Structure 1
Amino acid sequence: MSTSQSTDHSPIYNRLVLERGDVLAETRAVAEQVLRQSQQALDWSAVRSVWQAGERAGTFSPFG
């Protein structure tokens, strides 16, 4: 385990967290939120399923 992943922090780190907040934890949380939002924004599965349903139903498609 690298030193950045260790939960046993030095007293200096603990004091900085008390004074400034846990920037690493906040950054990690924001990164996870951005990842979830980007996955939702780039999710085309609903469009694909509607298109496939239309193809199975025999509806007119100008592309095929």
Structure 2
Amino acid sequence: MTAQGFLELFDKKVYIYGIIRILSTVILFCISIFALSFWANGDALQAEEEAYVKMMEQYGMEHRQEK
């Protein structure tokens, strides 16, 4: 889709559509990378919390989980 957008930049009749295609592709790519980073970061936080709970149980301390 991006390559087609670049090709449309050379045609005066569909110049605006080419720009829209390029920008939409880039914006959607950025949004997907941003969403994936949140998803991966959430998994890391979950693993860290599980390690903390395990450590608290190992030393006999109470861990209250608030939700």
Smaller-chain TM-score bracket: 0.5 to 0.7
Aligned length: 55
- Any gaps of 5 or more consecutive residues in structure 2? none
TM-score when normalising by structure 1? 0.55
How far apart are the structure 1 equivalents of 2:31 and 2:3? 24
Greater RCO, 1 or 2 (C-alpha within 8 Å, sep 6+): 2
Q: Distance in 1 between matches of 2:24 and 2:34?
A: 15
Give the alignment's TM-score, normalised by structure 2: 0.53
User: Please, which runs of 5 or more residues in structure 1 have no aligned partner?
Assistant: none
Match of 1:48 among 43, 46, 60: 46
Query: Sequence identity of aligned pairs in percent?
Result: 5
* Structure 1 position 49, deviation (Å): 1.3
Whole-Å Cα distance in 2 between the matches of residues 53 and 32 of structure 1? 33
Question: Secondary structure of the residue that 1:62 maps to in structure 2?
Answer: coil
TM-superposed deviation, 1:5 = 8.7
Runs of 4+ in 1 over 3 A off after TM superposition: 4-7
1:26 is aligned to 2:28: no
Root-mean-square deviation over aligned CA pairs: 3.1
Q: Report which of the two has the higher share of helix.
A: 2
